[in-house]
C-alpha cells in the first residue's frame, strides 16, 4: 500500500466544484457514486494526497454532531490547499480570461518559485505553486 493522505471537504455544489478544479485549474476530477442510491462524491488525486468533495447536506446527514454548528462559520475558513503544478502560465491565462480574483501573486527568482493564490467557490484558499521557474 502506498502512503497517502485523504481529506474530505464540504462544498455547496459538486458541479461548481468540478468546474473550478477540472475546467479552470485543469486537474483530473473523478465523479463517483459509492453505492447505489448514494449521493456522488468528487475525487481529486494530487501526488500522495486525495481530496474528496461532498455536498454539505450529505455530510450533515452523515455526521450531524460534527456539522451542527458549521453554519456559524463559512466554509474554507483557515484551510489552505497547496498544489504543485508544472506550469502556472496556462492556468494564469484561464484565470484571467474568466476574470477571477487573484488574492496574491509571487515570483521569487532567488528561490526559483512562483505562486498564485485564489479562493475556490466555497472559500477554500488554493495556492498554486511552480518550482524551478525560469
pLDDT tens by residue, 22-48 = 999 999 999 999 888 889 999 999 888
For CA atoms 32, 34, 37, 41, the dihedral sign is negative
CA 21: distance to chain centroid?
6
Rounded mean pLDDT, 14-22: 96
108 pLDDT higher than 60: yes
CA distance 120 to 66: 23
Q: What is the CATH number of domain 5-67+79-131?
A: 3.10.180.10
Question: What local confidence, expressed as pLDDT, does residue 5 receive?
Answer: 84
Question: What local confidence, expressed as pLDDT, does residue 62 receive?
Answer: 78
Rounded mean pLDDT, 87-106: 94
Question: What local confidence, expressed as pLDDT, does residue 72 receive?
Answer: 62
Decide: helix, strand or coil at residue 99.
coil
Question: What local confidence, expressed as pLDDT, does residue 1 receive?
Answer: 52
CA distance 75 to 57: 13
Domain boundaries, the chain: 5-67+79-131
For 47-92, the pLDDT digits (tens) are 888 999 999 888 888 777 766 666 666 777 788 999 999 999 999 9
* Residues in the chain, overall count: 134
Amino acid at each position: 500500500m502506498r502512503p497517502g493522505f485523504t481529506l474530505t471537504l464540504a462544498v455547496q455544489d459538486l458541479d461548481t466544484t468540478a468546474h473550478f478544479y477540472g475546467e479552470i485549474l485543469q486537474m483530473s476530477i473523478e465523479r463517483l457514486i459509492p453505492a447505489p442510491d448514494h449521493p456522488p462524491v468528487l475525487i481529486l488525486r494530487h501526488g500522495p494526497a486525495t481530496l474528496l468533495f461532498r455536498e454539505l447536506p450529505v455530510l450533515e446527514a452523515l455526521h450531524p454532531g460534527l456539522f451542527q454548528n458549521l453554519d456559524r462559520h463559512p466554509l474554507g475558513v483557515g484551510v489552505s490547499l497547496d498544489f504543485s503544478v508544472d506550469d502556472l502560465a496556462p492556468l494564469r491565462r484561464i484565470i484571467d480570461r474568466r476574470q477571477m480574483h487573484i488574492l496574491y501573486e509571487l515570483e521569487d527568482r532567488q528561490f526559483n518559485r512562483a505562486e498564485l493564490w485564489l479562493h475556490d467557490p466555497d472559500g477554500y484558499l488554493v495556492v498554486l505553486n511552480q518550482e524551478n521557474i525560469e
